[in-house]
Amino acid sequence: MATDRQSFDEIDWAQIDEETEREISPNFIIVAVGTALMGLVWAFDYFFVTGTYDAAIGMDFGNQYTPTFQFIGWGYDVTQLDWLFAFSLLLFGAYMILPLYQNPRMTKYYWRDMKRNRPAMASLGWLLFIFVIGVIGPAVIKAPTVDLMTKYQPPMFLEINNIYPINCAGDVVGGACQGSLEHPLGTTGDGKDIFRIIVYGMQISMKIGFIATLFVVTIGSIVGTVAAYAGGLVDEVLMRWVDIQQSFPTFILYLLILYIYGASLFLFIVLFSLFSWEGTARYVRSNALAKTEEEYIKAVQLSGASTYRVIRSHIMPNSASSIVTDITLLIPSFILFEAQFAFLGLGDSTIPSWGVLIAQGRSDLAFAPWITLIPGLFLFFTILAFNFLGDALLDALNPEADAEAEK
Amino acid sequence: MGMEWYIVRRVAWAAIVTFIIVTITWGLMTAAPNPQVQAAVTQAAMDGENPAAAEERMEAQLQLDRPLHVRFMDYVVGVYTLEWGWSNTRNEPVTDALVTALYFTVQYSVPWTILTVLIGPIVGVYSAANQYSWRDHAATGLAFFGYAIPNFFFGIILLLIFGVQLEWIPIVYQTDVPVFSVQNVIQLTIPIFVLVTGSIGAIMRVSRNEAAEYANADFVKTAKAKGVSTYRIYARHVIRPTMVPLSTTMVGYLLAIFTGSSLLVEVVFGIPGLGRTLYDAVVAQDTNLVLGSTLFFTFVATIGNLLQDLVYTVLDPRISFEDR
């Protein structure tokens, strides 16, 4: 903008009308541009890499391994799940982080509230740590590989009787192999580096959390608003379905589907999110029903706001606190479910997740307990952090509870 | 109108829900290729026979060559008349296998449920009575710990400590000890402990927050003014209204743990209960048993939710039946 200072009569009202009608916010632009860019890369991957890679190098991988960024020497194959993950990160940035920057006053207010809650701050720090390492780590650190020569290396500052490892990477003191920097968290029974598995597991946990949130919030809010606005039979049917879903044991259903169709992380995430949006739908519906009676909604409707606008800028922000709290309690349960299936050996066996590691170390518990303990503690602290955060958000975002506490 | 009509409708709804669940499971099983047929095809291909003929033979044997609606009706009738088929791995009818498994599941789930339902609200109310004291913080910490620690991981650790290191409990569950014997109590202590710590947290939190709301209620002040002891106030006046909202969430919550975590705990401790049966059936590709145990779990969940709603109507007379 070259001319920032406009006088009143120079404003082009027609243009402003047009703009407000189309509602092109910076958030939307970011999402649109980001999605378009991702679409381009995806199209490139689909048309130029997946189809041609095997032919180009003259080997038949059965279109399984197709590194997207081969031309810059990065042999990483971007999967379906990565695209979804990137998309949910984009939405998260545009509609969760950017608004915090756009409304500094409210951000400061919530921040002050949150800061008093020390466990919540520690949890936030821990989750940020997991998030950053999980997103960047796998791009930098090589995937864990099987190497029997380096099996049963102890973590730093620990030792193991030298009969277990074949080749001790650290010093051998009195017949006991000492931990070394080469494998800071030790290795498993087949020589995989635990530190690398933990980093890769972080990304898997974050993928589960973000993609599931994307599905749950989208489906939940659509169903909630449709039920509230359509009313009558539609409302009845949708809410009865929510009832069924609430009482349906998802764990068992997934076990059945896994038995029939086989396991994959993608299927896991999609299925669990498709059967977990009932809380969000309930919140949005009850909020929509309660708020449509409010004066300010009537005022907005009288001044010509569309139903979409009422939902988008009044109902959804009003339901945000319940949804966010619901989600912070939902994500850890997803992560736990994944670990449980991995532990049972029924999960996606191709991914290095924490649950797989816990299961792997089970038979070596007596002499190499760290194989199970380290991922278990990571899992425990991550679930704990989400719970603390959810608890704190419940307090911070719910002014009614605040008022009651002060009474 | 009123309560009777509501109960009738609620029971009818539960019946509809079971029907929907049965339909969904049937749809899932029908849409996917049958593992037994596939195994037969693979076998035929390996033996150098005609795979298509083997497929047809197996389909005829499993009666999969009939029209869809006939198969569906057959299936539904079979489910509701408890003819759940033959379990190939266990060499007995699926219902018999489930009853045997139930015998072991009940042994730990009954004490677990009783302990959770008793201890959870009591600790929650106690923690509300001592709000912001170290006791409250300790209880809150315990609640979060129990809620956050994965049951199966906790079980493994405890098994390592008490089974392998201290040798206080058997590492593998002994099925031949009598139900009411000291050995059985000893070997079930750790699984029950794991499940109770896992399930008690949320109940403690809810009851604490509920009870804290009543701490300054008028009826509590009146009781105090009359000279009622603190113990009696909480035991008689606060715990009752606390239990009402709790009862709406508790059953569903316990059922979620029953269908999820108990399976893991059974696998970790080697208890041959329902969860373990389902797990073994999945691993051994025993379709009838997988389906049978799945249906059993979903039926338990439906009936549990039904009971919860019915109990709620009895507990809280203020509930209105008109809009339900």
Residue-level pLDDT at A304: 81
User: Could A253 and B301 be called an inter-chain contact, meaning their C-beta atoms sit closer than 8 Å?
Assistant: no
- What angle separates helix A354-361 from helix A194-230, to the nearest 10 degrees? 130
Lowest mean pLDDT among A226-235, A276-285, B190-199, B313-322: B313-322
- Residue A402's pLDDT is 47
Cα dihedral across residues A302, A303, A306, A310: positive or negative: negative
**Strands annotated E in chain B:** 86-87, 92-93
Helix axes B274-284, A250-261, angle to 10 degrees: 20
pTM: 0.81
Average pLDDT for B264-290: 85
Query: What range does the domain containing A360 cover?
Result: 194-406
Measured over the CA atoms of residue B139, residue B144, residue B147 and residue B148, the dihedral's sign is negative
The reported pLDDT for the residue numbered A12 is 64
Which pLDDT value is given to residue B38?
75
- Chain B partners within 8 Å of A330 (Cβ): none
Can you tell me which residue has the tokens 């489930």?
B98
Indicate the SS3 state at residue B176: coil
In this predicted structure, the answer to whether residue B33 has a pLDDT above a threshold of 80 is: no
pLDDT exceeds 80 at position B92: yes
CB under 8 Å to A295, separation ≥6 — which residues?
A: none
Distance from CA of A32 to the nearest CA of B (A): 37
Q: How many residues does chain B have?
A: 324
Q: Is the residue at A155 inside a domain?
A: no
Q: Which of A183-187, A232-236, B190-194, B222-226 has the lowest mean pLDDT?
A: A183-187
**Gap between the Cα atoms of B15 and B7, Å rounded:** 12
Give the separation between CA B108 and CA B273, rounded to whole angstroms.
Answer: 9
Summarize the confidence of residues B28-32 as an average pLDDT.
Answer: 77
Distance separating alpha carbons of residues B94 and B86, to the nearest angstrom:
5
Read off the pLDDT of each residue in A153-177 and give the average, rounded to a whole number.
71
Give CA–CA dist B149/B70, Å, rounded: 48
Report the C-alpha gap between A99 and A392 in whole angstroms: 20
**Is CATH 3.30.300.30 what the domain over B95-283 is classified as, yes or no?**
no
Report the pLDDT value the prediction gives residue A20, as an integer from 0 to 100: 55
Residue B312 vs residue A289, higher pLDDT: A289
- With cut-offs at 50, 70 and 90, classify the pLDDT of residue B324: very low
User: Higher-confidence residue: A190 or B16?
Assistant: B16
Q: Is B111 exposed, middle or buried (0-12, 13-18, 19+ CB in 10 A)?
A: middle
- Is the pLDDT at B46 greater than 80? The verdict is no
Contacts of B278 in chain A (CB under 8 A): 252, 255
**Residue A403 has what pLDDT?**
46
Find out whether A222 and A175 touch, Cβ atoms under 8 Å: no
DSSP A172: E
- Residue-wise pLDDT for A10-50, tens only, equals 666 666 565 555 566 777 788 888 888 888 877 777 766 65
Residue reference for tokens 């059974």 = B266
Residue with tokens 């307090």: A395
Whole-angstrom CA distances from B207 to A20, B118, B239 are 48, 12, 8
Q: Which two tokens stand for residue A318?
A: 């009003």
- Res. B219 pLDDT band, cuts 50 70 90: confident
Check: CB of residue A145 under 8 Å from CB of residue A123: no
CATH number of the domain where residue A216 is located: 1.10.3720.10
Q: Is residue A337 part of a domain?
A: yes
d(CA A377, CA B153): 9
Contact assessment for residue A368 and residue A191, using Cβ atoms and an 8 Å cutoff: no
Q: Is residue A78 part of a domain?
A: yes
Q: Say if the Cβ atoms of B153 and A376 lie within 8 Å.
A: yes
A407: pLDDT strictly greater than 50: no
* Cβ–Cβ contact B290 with A under 8 A: yes
Strand partners for A160:
A177
Count of all residues that appear for chain A in the document: 407
* H/E run at residue A294: none
pLDDT at A359 over 60: yes
Here the contacts of B56-63 (C-beta below 8 Å, separation 24 or greater) are B58/B34, B59/B34, B62/B34, B62/B36, B62/B37
Q: What percent of chain A lies above the pLDDT cut of 90? A: 2
Which pLDDT band holds residue B24 (cuts at 50, 70, 90)? confident
Residues A20, A25, A31, CA angle at the centre, nearest 5°? Answer: 140
Give the residue-averaged pLDDT of A170-193: 74
Q: What is the dihedral of CA A376, A377, A382, A383, to 10 degrees?
A: 60
What is the percent of chain B where pLDDT is above 90?
0
**Which of B 192-221 lie inside 8 A of A, CB atoms?**
213, 216
Same-domain status, A105 and A210:
no
pLDDT of residue A66: 56
Q: Each residue of A103-119: pLDDT tens digit?
A: 888 788 878 877 877 88
Amino acid letter at B187?
Q
Would A342 be classed as within a structural domain?
A: yes
Could you give the ipTM of this predicted complex?
0.80
Confirm or reject contact between B150 and chain A (CB < 8 A).
Answer: yes
| pLDDT at residue A404 tops 50 | no
B256's CB contacts (< 8 A; 6+ apart) are A249, A251
Q: Is A8 exposed, middle or buried (0-12, 13-18, 19+ CB in 10 A)?
A: exposed
For residue B164, CA distances in Å to A362, A364, B123, B262 come to: 12, 12, 32, 22
Q: How far apart are the first and last CA of chain A?
A: 50
Question: Where do you find CATH 1.10.3720.10 in chain B?
Answer: 95-283
Q: What pLDDT band is residue A380 in, cutting at 50, 70 and 90?
A: very high
Q: Please, are residues A155 and A179 in contact by the beta-carbon 8 Å criterion?
A: yes
Residue A406 has pLDDT above 50, yes or no: no
Closest residue in chain A to residue B158, using alpha carbons only? A365
Give me the mean pLDDT over the B251-267 stretch.
80
As a whole number, mean pLDDT of residues B89-115 equals 86
Higher pLDDT, A55 or A185: A185
Query: Which chain A residue shows the shortest CA-CA distance from B19?
Result: A244
Encode A278-288: b = buried (16+ Cβ within 10 Å), e = exposed: bbbbbbbbebb
Gap between the Cα atoms of B20 and A254, Å rounded: 17
Average pLDDT over residues B96-113: 87
Identity of residue A46: Y
Measure CA A326 to chain center.
14
In one-letter notation, the amino acid at residue A345 is G
pLDDT at A236 over 60: yes
In terms of domains, do A308 and A212 share one?
yes
> Distance (Å) from the C-alpha of residue A203 to the closest C-alpha of chain B?
19
The closest alpha carbon to B310, from B253, B241, B239, B247, belongs to B247
C-alpha span between A343 and A366 (Å, rounded):
18
- Number of structural domains (chain A) is 2
Residues of A in contact with B297 (CB under 8 A): 249, 252
User: What are residue B115's DSSP bridge partners?
Assistant: none
Which residues of chain B does A383 touch, with a Cβ-Cβ cutoff of 8 Å?
147-150
Confidence of residue A258 (pLDDT cuts 50, 70, 90): confident
Which of A49, A82, A116 is at the close of a domain? A116
Span A280-288, mean pLDDT? 84
Of the residues A244, A259, A261, A335, the best mutation for testing chain B's interface (the one with the most B CB atoms within 10 Å of its CB) is A259
Note the pLDDT of residue B305: 80
Q: Taking CB atoms and an 8 Å limit, are A244 and B147 in contact across chains?
A: no
Assign A405 a pLDDT band (cuts: 50, 70, 90).
Answer: very low
Give the contacts of A367 (CB within 8 A, at least 6 positions apart): A152, A160, A161, A164
B160 → closest Cβ in A244, A249, A369: A369
Q: Is pLDDT larger for residue A318 or for residue B19?
A: B19
Contact A251 B252 (CB under 8 A): no
B305 interfaces chain A, CB cutoff of 8 Å: yes
Spatial distance between the Cα atoms of A201 and A208, rounded to a whole number of angstroms: 11
Round to whole Å and give the CA distance between A14 and A138: 50
Tokens of B179: 């139900």
pLDDT band at A381 (very low <50, low <70, confident <90, very high): very high
Q: Measure A306 CA to nearest chain B CA, in Å.
A: 30
Are A255 and A377 found together in one domain? yes
Q: Which residues of A touch B156 (CB under 8 A)?
A: 358, 362, 365, 372, 376
Minimal Cα–Cα distance from A338 to chain B, Å? 11
Q: Do A339 and B150 touch (CB under 8 A)?
A: yes
Give the gyration radius of chain B's Cα atoms.
25
Write down the mean pLDDT value for chain A.
77
Q: Quick check: A359 and A294 in contact, CB under 8 A?
A: no
DSSP, collapsed to helix, strand or coil, labels residue B203 as: helix
- Answer yes or no: are the C-beta atoms of A162 and A168 closer than 8 Å: yes
Residue A11: inside a domain: no
Question: Do residues B45 and B51 touch, judged by C-beta distance below 8 A?
Answer: yes
Predicted local confidence at residue A19, as pLDDT: 53
Q: Is B19 on the interface with A (CB under 8 A)?
A: no
B288 closest CA partner among B12, B29, B7: B29
pLDDT tens for B169-204 read 777 777 777 777 778 888 888 889 998 888 888 888
Collapse the DSSP code of A161 into the 3-class scheme (helix H, G, I; strand E, B; otherwise coil) and give the result. Answer: strand
Measure the CA dihedral A337/A339/A342/A346, to 10°. -10
Q: Using the 3D structure, point to which of A93, A116, A139 is the last residue of a domain.
A: A116
pLDDT-derived band at A77 (thresholds 50, 70, 90) equals: low
Q: Mark which of A99, A116, A133 sits at the end of a domain.
A: A116
**What is the mean pLDDT of the segment spanning B97-125?**
87
- The pLDDT value recorded for residue A126 is 92
